[in-house]
Amino acid sequence: MKNVRNRDGQAGAAATRHHAEAMHLDDLQKIIACSESQVPLTSTRGEQSRPSELHNFLIHNMMRAFLSAGFTLWTR
């Protein structure tokens, strides 16, 4: 309870520190929706003709995988 009060800024000198809040599911969904608008889920690696397109494809797919897995692991 002491840590929660400190995090919420209700007591003590430690309450003046700024901590990052956890990501909410809505935030994760917005990030993934933005990524899917740039690289659709239906696109495949074979469709990428230029190295820059392949790089963008791989970055977005790895980001989606790590964000989803990380959110699941850290919220349990």
Q: Taking the CA of residue 52 as centre, how many other CA atoms within 13 Å lie in the half-sphere pointing to its CB?
A: 0
The answer to whether residue 59 sits within a structural domain is yes
The answer to whether residue 13 sits within a structural domain is no
The answer to whether residue 64 sits within a structural domain is yes
* Total count of domains within the chain: 1
The answer to whether residue 27 sits within a structural domain is yes
pLDDT of residue 72: 80
DSSP label at 18? -
Binned at pLDDT 50, 70 and 90, residue 9 comes out as: low
Structural domain boundaries, residue 33: 22-74
**Would you say how long the chain is, in residues?**
76
The answer to whether residue 58 sits within a structural domain is yes
The answer to whether residue 70 sits within a structural domain is yes
The answer to whether residue 61 sits within a structural domain is yes
Could you report the per-residue pLDDT of 10-69, keeping only the tens digit for each?
555 555 555 566 778 888 899 999 999 998 888 888 888 889 889 999 999 999 999 988
Cα–Cα distances (Å) from 32 to 8, 14, 18, 46, in that order, read 29, 34, 27, 22
pLDDT of residue 35: 92
